[in-house]
Amino acid sequence: MESYHINEIKVTKRKDSRFIKQEENIDYNEGGVSLKDLEKYPFLMLEKQTSTREFFDNMLLENNTDITPEIELGSTDLLVEMTKIGLGITFVWKKCIEEQLKSKEVFIVNIKEKIPERYLGIVTHKQIPLSIGAKKFIELLH
């Protein structure tokens, strides 16, 4: 029987996820809007069985909030594009929207509740060298 040895497990940067919207004009109370208040807005989300969707659903459950997405997609890029044209609010990794935030194509929705921290982990195999593409991908994550 062959045994496998993991070379290394690395925890990369914290995944800083945010709610975003096309327009700045959302009714804010002091400290932001509550998750419960977001129930009245249309939502765009990743499909079920993705780690981001599972994280999102668990966060809502912990905060006794019921948001049913109007649209479910398989791509963060599509979520951002649909948010840019005003189809709803979405929840994405902040690193994916840096350019759109700078150009004011989307705006962060400030939430009263603390969004739990998330981290990315990378597992490599001791006997299999990383490809150039894998090395570049890991560099992007740092």
Q: What is the pLDDT of residues 65-87, one digit of tens each?
A: 999 999 999 999 999 999 999 99
CA atoms within 13 A on the CB side of 15: 15
Spell out the domain ranges in the chain.
17-116
pLDDT band at 26 (very low <50, low <70, confident <90, very high): low
CA R_g for the chain: 18
How far apart (Å, rounded) are the C-alpha atoms in residues 31 and 14? 23
State the pLDDT at residue 4: 55
Collapsed DSSP state (helix, strand, coil) of residue 92? strand
Between 95 and 92, name the one with better pLDDT: 92
State the pLDDT at residue 64: 95
Collapsed DSSP state (helix, strand, coil) of residue 35? coil
CA atoms within 13 A on the CB side of 64: 0
User: Looking at the predicted structure, is the pLDDT value of residue 1 above 60?
Assistant: no
User: Looking at the predicted structure, is the pLDDT value of residue 13 above 80?
Assistant: no
Of all residues in the chain, the percent with pLDDT exceeding 90 is 48
**The CATH fold of domain 17-116:** D-Maltodextrin-Binding Protein; domain 2 (3.40.190)
φ, ψ dihedrals at 95, nearest 5°: -60, -25
Mean pLDDT to the nearest integer, 50-56: 90
Whole-angstrom CA distances from 11 to 8, 14, 44, 94, 124 are: 10, 8, 28, 18, 12
State the pLDDT at residue 75: 93
Give 98-141 pLDDT, tens digit per residue: 999 999 999 999 888 988 888 777 788 878 888 999 888 877 76
Mean pLDDT to the nearest integer, 20-49: 83
